[in-house]
Amino acid sequence: MVSRVIPVEPFDLVIFGGTGDLARRKILPGLFRRFRAGQMPPDARVIGAARTEMDASAYRDMIRDGILKFGGEESRDSESLEAFLQRLDYVAIDATGEGGWQHLAGIMRPGVVRAFYFSVAPSLFGPLAERLHQHGIADQEARIVVEKPFGRDLESARALNQTLAAHFREEQIYRIDHYLGKETVQNLMAVRFGNVLFEPLWNNHYVDHIQITVAETVGVEGRGGYYDKSGAMRDMVQNHLMQLLCLIAMEPPFRFEAAAVRDEKLKVIHALKPVLAHHIVRGQYDADGDGPSYREEAGNPRSFTESFIAIRAEIANWRWAGVPFYLRTGKKLRARHSEIAVVFKDLPHTIFEGDQARHRNILSIRLQPNEGIDLFVTIKEPGPGGMRLIDRPLDMTFATALGEDGKDVPDAYERLIMDVIRGNQTLFMRGDEVEAAWAWTDPIIAGWERRNDVPKLYDPGSSGPDDALMLLHREGRRWRDIRG
Ligand code: NAP
């Protein structure tokens, strides 16, 4: 099945940090895929901007290399690739200096959407925003895109919001959380709000608990210096896991549009209870035969930063009172596996013999690998021999259900960049959401800093520290397996 692609309006997209890792690995390969899919109109342009002096031709060579390396199979279509590269231009600019800005102002076209991707360190957001205005480059409709990390606590997030607000209205600011751009995450909303089946069960009468797992197999590798000042809570929970939790837990918005969805997400964050110390488990991966420990990789032998965290969270409202939300994320775990699992309660009474607890309905929403949704239901094992029950998933794997190898499904960055051009903020974080998320996160971090909490060591390739297993075991529950 070939998906329907609606071209977006003509645009000039300037990528500050256009020579950086994110631009070469994600943004430009993503734009190339949209170009190939026919979504970029003929006069759309992408302008890379960074301090390095080079001309447009050298920039195209650099991006060609990036797309060939990171663009997957489609990058072998050399005709399309060369046509795409012709859309690229480059301007040498220092975000904190004055050179290059007049040139950029001169090449921006009137009458097309103007978007500015700040793919640079957050300390440059202010200087960029200021100069875009000083030189008359950003008009009233211009959009800016910013990346995580959006602050490292409430205070710094507020300061960043204020910096951006000095030059742009909230409707112009697109804070990316690429988890929200995933096909499955949107499908979660389609499943919840497009079917009559689930919403009546989506509450503390029928849901026993919810698990959100984002497991990675990689360590901190080259990012050790940055990561050691951040840790799993700031790097993953405050943003990605929190966003997933909001979408799972929010009330039905009155319409699927930005303000309504973001209002409902914000209410969830406000309703999160403070987390008790014994509902938090932090871990750090140890060395193993093949690889260094976290501390070695981070270059900090006395580091107390967590590369793993598990939290038992609770939402204080009528829908979710008493339902635990278990969140867990970590590096160097058994498999690359991200899943939201809604685990329903046991039957009130079973008419069958045997262990009824084994037969729980679970709605599993897989973000990676193999994006899709499974609803585990109990059926009779086929064949003679009496009534034996088994659990089987009703499988909605997108790759098989929606297109040959899932090729037509855009990846998160592609979708989100096209949403910026369309002016659709539904899948982006609003400033007040980010601040509320930090307001919940800050006391948790302050708590373990006060207690001088030392993360528990765990073996690379495991499911994290044993204490994380106990977080559920002591309540008669168990984590779902981490498997690739
Ligand atoms: P990077 O590889 O270090 O690239 C930084 C870019 O900024 C380069 O193009 C650099 O080029 C440019 N730059 C630095 N100082 C500048 C200045 N004063 N004026 C203009 N340009 C300047 O970083 P990155 O990994 O691409 O990350 C960019 C941002 O996205 C960071 O905030 C990062 O936290 C965030 N992010 C990255 C990823 C990822 O996967 N890489 C994921 C999520 C979020 P010149 O040196 O030529 O100026």
18 CA to centre of ligand 1 in angstroms? 8
pLDDT, residue 403, reads 56
> Using CA atoms, how far apart are residues 149 and 237, in angstroms rounded to an integer?
12
Could you tell me how many residues make up the chain? 484
Do both 202 and 71 map to the same domain? no
Give how far Cα 59 sits from Cα of 9, 31, 128, Å.
25, 15, 21
Do both 90 and 189 map to the same domain? no
Using a 10 angstrom Cβ sphere, with 0-12 exposed, 13-18 middle and 19 or more buried, the burial of residue 206 is middle
Residue owning the nearest CA to atom 3 of ligand 1: 20
Q: Looking at the CA of residue 149, tell me the nearest atom of ligand 1.
A: 34
- Residues within a 6 A CB radius of ligand 1: 16-23, 50-52, 93-96, 119-122, 124, 147-149
DSSP state of 333: B
Is 349 noted as a catalytic residue in this protein?
Answer: no
Q: Looking at the CA of residue 96, tell me the nearest atom of ligand 1.
A: 18
Q: Looking at the CA of residue 94, tell me the nearest atom of ligand 1.
A: 19
Question: Are the C-beta atoms of residues 208 and 186 closer than 8 Å to each other?
Answer: no
> Using CA atoms, how far apart are residues 341 and 358, in angstroms rounded to an integer?
16
Residue 166 located in a structural domain: no
Residue 328 located in a structural domain: yes
Residue 5 located in a structural domain: no
The catalytic position among 167, 209, 240, 359 is: 240
Residue 299 located in a structural domain: yes
| CB-based contacts of 351, cutoff 8 Å, min separation 6 | none
Question: Are the C-beta atoms of residues 176 and 420 closer than 8 Å to each other?
Answer: no
Give how far Cα 286 sits from Cα of 223, 360, 464, Å.
17, 35, 10
DSSP state of 305: -
Do both 189 and 115 map to the same domain? no
Among the candidates 123, 147, 171, a domain finishes at 147
376 CA to centre of ligand 1 in angstroms? 43
Q: Return phi, psi of residue 340, to 5°.
A: -110, 130
**How do beta strands 280-285 and 207-215 pair?**
unpaired
Do both 317 and 398 map to the same domain? yes
Q: Looking at the CA of residue 50, tell me the nearest atom of ligand 1.
A: 21
Do both 110 and 217 map to the same domain? no
The residue to mutate among 14, 15, 51, 144, having the most atoms of ligand 1 within 8 angstroms of its beta carbon, is 51
Do both 184 and 104 map to the same domain? no
Tell me which residue range forms the domain holding 345: 180-473
Residue 4 located in a structural domain: no
Sheet (strand 337-344) strand order: 389-397, 372-380, 362-368, 337-344, 207-215, 325-330, 308-313, 280-285, 456-458
Do both 140 and 184 map to the same domain? no
> Using CA atoms, how far apart are residues 248 and 246, in angstroms rounded to an integer?
5
Amino acid at 221: E
Do both 190 and 72 map to the same domain? no
DSSP state letters, 170-232: GGGEEE--GGGGSHHHHHHHHHHHH-TTTGGGSSTTTEEEEEEEEE-S---GGGHHHHHTTHH
224 CA to centre of ligand 1 in angstroms? 16
Question: Tokens standing for 168?
Answer: 């742009």
50 CA to centre of ligand 1 in angstroms? 9
Residue owning the nearest CA to atom 41 of ligand 1: 22
Residue 480 located in a structural domain: no
Do both 195 and 125 map to the same domain? no
> Using CA atoms, how far apart are residues 109 and 75, in angstroms rounded to an integer?
29
Do both 141 and 231 map to the same domain? no
Do both 241 and 360 map to the same domain? yes
| CATH of residue 23 | 3.40.50.720
The residue to mutate among 90, 120, 216, having the most atoms of ligand 1 within 8 angstroms of its beta carbon, is 120
Residue 399 located in a structural domain: yes
360 CA to centre of ligand 1 in angstroms? 46
Domain count, the chain: 2
Do both 222 and 369 map to the same domain? yes
**Cross-strand partners of 392:** 377
> Using CA atoms, how far apart are residues 248 and 237, in angstroms rounded to an integer?
15
Question: CA 247, 253, 255 angle in degrees (round to 5)?
Answer: 125
72 CA to centre of ligand 1 in angstroms? 22
DSSP state of 17: T
Amino acid at 225: G
**Cross-strand partners of 211:** 326, 341
Question: Are the C-beta atoms of residues 248 and 188 closer than 8 Å to each other?
Answer: yes
Q: Looking at the CA of residue 121, tell me the nearest atom of ligand 1.
A: 32
Residue 160 located in a structural domain: no
Residue owning the nearest CA to atom 37 of ligand 1: 22
| CATH of residue 304 | 3.30.360.10
Using a 10 angstrom Cβ sphere, with 0-12 exposed, 13-18 middle and 19 or more buried, the burial of residue 248 is buried
| Mean pLDDT per 10-residue interval, the chain, length 484 residues | 75 98 95 93 95 97 94 84 96 95 96 97 95 94 94 97 96 96 90 93 98 97 90 97 98 96 98 97 93 94 97 98 98 96 92 73 91 89 84 74 58 93 96 98 98 96 97 96 86
Residue owning the nearest CA to atom 38 of ligand 1: 22
pLDDT, residue 404, reads 47
